[in-house]
Amino acid sequence: MYILGIETSCDETGVAIYHSSKGLIHHCLYSQIAMHNEYGGIVPELASRDHIRKLIPLIDECLQQSHILKSDIQGIAYTAGPGLIGALLVGAATAKSLAWSWNIPAIGVHHMEGHLLAPMLEEHTPAFPFVALLVSGGHTLLVEVKNIGHYQLLGESLDDAAGEAFDKAAKMLGLAYPGGPLLAKLAEQGQAKRFKFPRPMTDRPGLDFSFSGLKTFTMNTLNNTDKTEQDKADVALAFQQATAETLAIKCKRALKQTGLKRLVVAGGVSANTQIRKTLTEMTNKERAEIFFPRPEFCTDNGAMIAYAGCQRLLAQQQESLSINARPRWPIDELYTH
Ligand code: KG4
Ligand code: ZN
């Protein structure tokens, strides 16, 4: 069964063709970053309009490069939430319209479920159950994954998401939006141990996160320097190290609490090399296994949506042709089968 996947929840238009037994056939991605860059962040209305412009040509391109025909597609998966409402509605309306005209089913996918299942696109996939750390621009979640669709929230950020903290710290360092990857690049020039940043909420029990204090600490530390390139690189490294260690402490706790020995790490921030390394060292010590998507599938893409939708369609899940999107959608509210 060939599935067309559509992702339009934020600033990336993602399209993919996934086959239930052959795996991922092809994926195409168009990033709006250059357009939002001059505003220092995402402008939702511009995002929606750009998705409208780019989505259909991207679907055509993906079909062509996959060497399959429209008539080969047997289902459509689209991101139904959470995300920017206008951007989501572009994907939902396109998916439902194509489904109606091609006479095939369309299914809404939870964006974070897409991230969570992204490691399933790799060769070495995790078996269920596992603990998942989802770190993106909008969410930081620790989830106990019993099976596809069975998600229990263990902890979440009480304020900024990890990616949001990266982006805000990067802005303070004079870097462009989205600053996460640029901060990581700058940190490569940093000297370790010059600054010691706090590891928020690790001194008390629980699995929730808080990153807004790290942001203030970054600002204060930077203001106490001459703001030379070396100062900025040292601050970037200290911030990144504090974030990586905080995530590792909480993941270790989540593995202990659940008794599980498998950790999945996904979402945009999981592309960060230092975070991957710190978490891998922790799981090695704990004799647990760790799974990441390839860096390309850590950030938003259509392939993860096609995969998640395919599993739901295989489980006979159905949806009417009415067009719906949910800007807010807790992952533990996902219905199961
Ligand atoms: O998952 P994602 O593409 O979109 C959302 O669902 O939010 O995540 C985007 C976030 C941004 O905050 C971006 O700065 C961050 O992931 N990010 C990174 C890296 N690559 C992307 N943060 C740190 N290091 C990276 N290498
Ligand atoms: Zn995302």
Tokens 């259909």 found at = 56
Q: How far is CA 145 from the centre of its chain?
A: 16
pLDDT value at 28 more than 90: yes
Mean pLDDT on 1-26: 98
Task: Say what angle helices 85-102 and 44-66 make with each other, to 10 degrees.
Answer: 30
Mutate to test the pocket of ligand 1, among 37, 88, 166 (most ligand atoms within 8 A of CB): 166
Q: Output the CA 321–ligand 1 centroid distance in Å.
A: 32
Query: Rounded CA gap, 40 and 172, in Å?
Result: 12
pLDDT of residue 93: 98
Mean pLDDT on 186-212: 95
Q: Output the CA 293–ligand 2 centroid distance in Å.
A: 13
CB count within 10 Å of CB 275 equals: 25
* 268 Cβ closer than 6 Å to some ligand 1 atom: yes
Half-sphere exposure of 240 (CA within 13 A, CB side): 32
Domain ranges of the chain: 2-116+297-333, 126-292
* 267 Cβ closer than 6 Å to some ligand 1 atom: yes
- Helix (H), strand (E) at residue 286: none
Q: 26, 62 in Cβ contact below 8 A?
A: yes
pLDDT level of residue 334 (50, 70, 90 thresholds): confident
pLDDT of residue 276: 98
pLDDT level of residue 336 (50, 70, 90 thresholds): low
Amino acid at 158: L
Lowest mean pLDDT among 27-41, 89-103, 230-244, 322-336: 322-336
* Atom 8 of ligand 1, nearest CA residue: 268
* 87 Cβ closer than 6 Å to some ligand 1 atom: no
pLDDT of residue 266: 98
Kindly give the number of the ligand 1 atom that is closest to the alpha carbon of 298: 1
pLDDT value at 337 more than 80: no
Q: 75-120, pLDDT tens digit by residue?
A: 999 999 999 999 999 999 999 999 999 999 999 999 999 999 999 9
Give me the chain's average pLDDT, please: 96
Mean pLDDT on 313-318: 94
Q: 311, 22 in Cβ contact below 8 A?
A: no
Mean pLDDT on 127-147: 97
Mean pLDDT on 284-311: 98
Query: Cis omega before residue 330 (within 30°)?
Result: no
- Tell me the fold of 126-292: Nucleotidyltransferase; domain 5 (3.30.420)
Kindly give the number of the ligand 1 atom that is closest to the alpha carbon of 170: 14
> Is 2-116+297-333 CATH 3.30.420.40?
yes
Mutate to test the pocket of ligand 1, among 269, 277, 300, 301 (most ligand atoms within 8 A of CB): 269
pLDDT of residue 274: 98
Amino acid at 208: D
Mean pLDDT on 13-37: 97
Q: 17, 3 in Cβ contact below 8 A?
A: yes
pLDDT of residue 303: 98
pLDDT value at 268 more than 80: yes
Fold agreement (2-116+297-333, 126-292): yes
* 81 Cβ closer than 6 Å to some ligand 1 atom: no
pLDDT of residue 102: 98
* Atom 24 of ligand 1, nearest CA residue: 272
* 181 Cβ closer than 6 Å to some ligand 1 atom: yes
Lowest mean pLDDT among 27-31, 74-78, 202-206: 202-206
Nearest bound ligand to the CA of residue 166: 1
* 82 Cβ closer than 6 Å to some ligand 1 atom: no
pLDDT of residue 335: 65
Mean pLDDT on 292-317: 97
pLDDT of residue 80: 98
Kindly give the number of the ligand 1 atom that is closest to the alpha carbon of 83: 6
Q: Which residues pair with 290 in a beta bridge?
A: 263
* 245 Cβ closer than 6 Å to some ligand 1 atom: no
